[in-house]
Chains A and B, each alone.
Chain A
Amino acid sequence: MSVNTYDAIVIGAGHNGLIAGAYLARAGKKVVILERREIVGGAAVTEEIFPGYRFSEFSYVVSLLRPEIIRDLELPRHGLKILPLPSSVTPLDNGDYLAAWADHEPTRREIYRHSPRDAEAMDEYSRVMARAAKAIKPVLSLVPPDPSSMSVRDMLGLLRLGKYAKSLSEKELYRIAKLVTQSSADLLNEWFEFDALKGTKSASGIIGTFLGPHSPGTAYVLLHHYMGEIDGAFRAWGFAKNGTGGVTAAIAASARALGAEIRTNAAVKQVIVKGGRAAGVALENGDELRAKVVLSAADPKRTFLGFVESQYLPDEFVTQIKSFRVRGSSGKVNIALSALPQFTCLPGESPLHKGAISISPSIDYIERAYDEAKYGQFSKNPYIDIIIPSMIDRDMAPPGHHVMSCFVQYAPYDIEGGWDDQKRDAFGETVIRTLERYAPNIRRIIVGKQVITPKDIERIAGITGGNIFHGELLLHQLFFLRPAPQWADFRTPLPGYYFGASGAHPGGGVMGAAGKLAAHEVLRDWR
């Protein structure tokens, strides 16, 4: 084989692309993983934006990375360390706070302080959600069977799914049916009374979607947060050592050790089609690479509308991909700090500084933030999910200094008039002003800040629309409908062309399941 001939080409060295490449290499295939940027990682990268201050530029916590991937690819041996995020805290407008810890007792006592009723409700809520997550979880690691197909494999898959559904109690099934259709506000109002508790819980139901807590379907996203808990000791919940780039660095090291080649500065222009099959890729720099199989780990729009000429794909499929919703709804503000921010509710240095800090005082606060986004504005009072990585991993900032990661929602991709430098600055200012309300010294200790809009996510990480999940986690975009009906099994209408990224089943987050499952399907078809 010549230098540019491979068994498989993987487009994109984000976590899914790296994982897919690693699994293919593990199966003995000659693999090259192509990355557009000069660094690997995709949206899971760590960059030193200001000298000495390192940021998980986009994705900033690890929660769902699949245990079998950690084991199969021996990621701990290749440097993966997940440091615990021990707590979360929601500052309140009255100077108090609502905190939650990994330990049940102090959490219960803390909620009790605000609402004795909620403290009890929380115990049961957690159990119910964890059980529902346990019930639905096996589905996540399945290749979605196509309900309209009569193939043996799909029928068997459906049968397994049906049998599995039958193993659940009636009560569990109702609960799941309700969870996948309800809004998070409705769900939470059934259980709790304390505003900040409901606000904070509801926030996890809207992350990465273009929906508000009152929109149906958001309850299901809450469930996702309980999936990891079932992994027990293997739960990958926390902050990756060296930032989220630490995760992709470990996967890349593993992929290389398994024999995969990784090329950076290698932007793909087009998939080469020969005799009706994907036969390689042409790079922007003019190089051509040949392979039996091409696997795209880019977003669905670029995968199908960008890299492949539409003549090779059925019209109906193209239409479906065109209407796949990838509207980015969130931004990120990464701040370098000369000191620890002083939150009014947490004077000095509190253990709570080591966990998540959530600006989510109530469901209404978040719904209002959504209202503005609906009509093309960024939220004036946004939901912000903050962590201070330097409190968890001391290597993220110079001693005594800190870095702060602020995930901000909503910031619509399609902002009225389009994003420009002025709007980006105004968005950054809005975030600082919001933070100031809870941490008055913040402005004085800023050494530098990086404001990232959905447009920037698209520009830097290459995700069309800037949606952090490559496509919203909406009911009509999940499971056998992700990314399009009949094509949820990681194959595509173009033979030899596969798709395994967040826009495929089972969806986003640094989970890696799509990359792994896609590699398995490639190997299954290998002849």
Chain B
Amino acid sequence: MLSTLELKVTPFHERTSRLSVAQNWRRWAGYRVVGSYDLSLDHEYWAIRDRAALIDVSPLMKYVIEGPDAARLLHRLTPRDIDRMTVGQVAYTGWCDEEGKLIDDGTISRLGPQHFRLTAAEPSLRWLSMNAVGMDVRITELTDQVAALSLQGPKSRAVLNRVCKDKLDGLKYFRWMNTSVGNVPISVSRTGYTGDLGFELWMEADQALPVWDALMTAGDDYGITPCGILAMDMARVEAGLFMLDVDYTAAPHAWIEGQKSSPLEMGLDWAVNLDKKGYFVGRRALEREKREGSAWRMVGIEVEWEGLERLFAEVGLPPQIPSMAVRESRPIMCDGKQVGYASTSTWSPVLKKYIALAHVQRPYYEVGTSVLMEVTVEHHRKYAPAKVVKLPFYEPAWKKK
């Protein structure tokens, strides 16, 4: 069969493919999704930061975990304290192997006392099943059956209030609720991958198009804009959010120990509940790391513009940096030696700063440390002065309000 050779298309493909002027497609978990609709990313990026951006995130892996032991499984699988999660809550989490190294990350939504939805970047059925041995739990993958839309930006709530049966004003940050659009039942979570006000909408794949259409119509007055994953990539760096396979390697994929990352190294201390009861995978290793301190940390890097300007001025040019996020490793130097590397760097239009997510060794990861980041100036490797800064780079007041 030829079809297994082709990339899958999402339930929104009929709309997204027609709207895409750039026909710039990207692969995401076996699907073909829009990289950018427009020839430049400006319009889509600013939709995230100033209006409402509609992003097709259907390729996210989705699992439903049900049964008397559903909470027990997730409690064992992740460092989050699932016992403290109420129905209606969503939790972001990474999950680890026995050595406390990250396998993947995603969100857990508590749909009912014994009913959860887990999103993941990688296929996780096997890992989930292995950990469920002896448990009374049913794990179902719904990646293809559930379509997902992310509506991000300061106007996203106003748009949803126009189309949803229920008002979204009471929906708090990292909570979800059921409602409907027209006669399509959907669930809405106040989550996203942009660090702005935003929501993710979950619906049956075969009812996806009416939801898309309703949002586009209702959002017109608010400047709703279909947005590809390239603009989202810039926004997620500003929000200090990392990406599997770009900013860290999944432990099972690593060839060597040095490629693995722990959630503490990745700055997820707040999502590692070492005070929770009982065992979870990686607990001992993470406790040890917490005690002894991490060998390196994921930090924010802010390039000092004047310094960059000087490097370019030496060859008679104004600074030239890509206008999109670059997923390319760049050495971070200090005291004449390499002390880390930036895994994603981007120009931030909202901050007007050149920023990067970087892995930096102890003790250089302290906020305020002056470092150098490698840049290419007219085909020559140069080092631009930069600083270690706190993440996120950008957090608007309305994100959690």
Q: Which of A10-18, A100-108, A183-191, A308-316 contacts B (4 or more CB under 8 A)?
A: A100-108
Q: Does A147 contact B (CB under 8 A)?
A: no
Near A by CB (< 8 A), chain B positions 336-359 give: 347, 350-354
Which stretch (A225-233, A406-414, A420-428) binds chain B? A225-233
Contacts of B39 in A (CB 8 A): 101-103, 105-106
- Enumerate A81-109 residues with CB–CB distance to B below 8 Å: 81, 83-84, 86, 101-103, 105-106
B221 at the interface (CB under 8 A from A): yes
Q: Are B352 and A399 in contact (CB under 8 A)?
A: no
Q: Are B352 and A234 in contact (CB under 8 A)?
A: yes
Q: Smallest CB-CB separation from B320: which chain A residue?
A: A232
Is the Cβ of A83 less than 8 Å from the Cβ of B40? no
Q: Hey, which chain A residues are within 8 Å of B223, CB to CB?
A: 391, 394
19 cross-chain CB contacts under 8 A: A67-B352, A70-B352, A71-B305, A76-B353, A84-B43, A86-B43, A102-B39, A102-B40, A102-B42, A134-B318, A232-B319, A232-B321, A233-B321, A233-B323, A233-B354, A241-B50, A349-B220, A394-B221, A399-B221
A116 within 8 A of B: no
Contacts of B190 in A (CB 8 A): none
> Are B319 and A399 in contact, with the CB atoms below 8 A?
no
Residues A81 and B319 in contact in the complex (CB < 8 Å), given A103-B39, A394-B155? no
Other-chain contact of A399, B40, B42, B222, B320 (Cβ < 8 Å): B222
With both chains docked as a complex, state the minimum distance between the C-beta of A82 and any C-beta of chain B, in angstroms: 8
Residues of A within 8 A of B (CB): 67, 70-71, 75-77, 81, 83-84, 86, 101-103, 105-106, 134, 230-234, 241, 349, 354, 391, 393-394, 399-400
Number of A-B contacts (CB under 8 A): 61
Residue of B nearest to A106 (CB): B39
A104 to B156, CA, bound (A): 32
Report the minimum CB–CB distance from B14 to chain A (whole Å).
21
Q: Give the chain A neighbours of B25 by CB distance below 8 A.
A: none
A393 close to B50 (CB less than 8 A): yes
- The list of the 10 closest CB pairs from A to B, nearest first, reads A399-B221, A103-B39, A84-B42, A400-B221, A394-B223, A76-B352, A76-B351, A232-B318, A233-B347, A230-B318
The yes or no answer to B51 lying at the interface (CB within 8 A) is yes
Q: Which residues of B contact A84 (CB under 8 A)?
A: 42-43, 46
Complex Cα gap A105–B321 (Å): 21
Assembly CA distance A9 to B351 (angstroms): 31
What separation, in Å, do the CA atoms of A354 and B42 have in the docked complex?
A: 13
A86 to B46 Cα, complex, angstroms: 12
A76 x B318 contact (CB < 8 A): no
A400 to B39, CA, bound (A): 27
Interface status of B49 (Cβ within 8 A of chain A)? yes
B43 contacts A231, C-beta separation under 8 Å:
no
Cα A81 to Cα B47 in complex, Å, equals: 13
- Is the CB–CB distance between B352 and A86 below 8 Å? no
Taking a contact as CB atoms closer than 8 A, the residue among A71, A81, A106, A231 that contacts B350 in the complex is: A81
Q: Is the CB of B221 within 8 A of A81?
A: no
B176 → A minimal CB distance (Å):
26
- Contact of A394 with B42 at beta-carbon distance under 8 Å, contacts A76-B350, A234-B352 already known: no
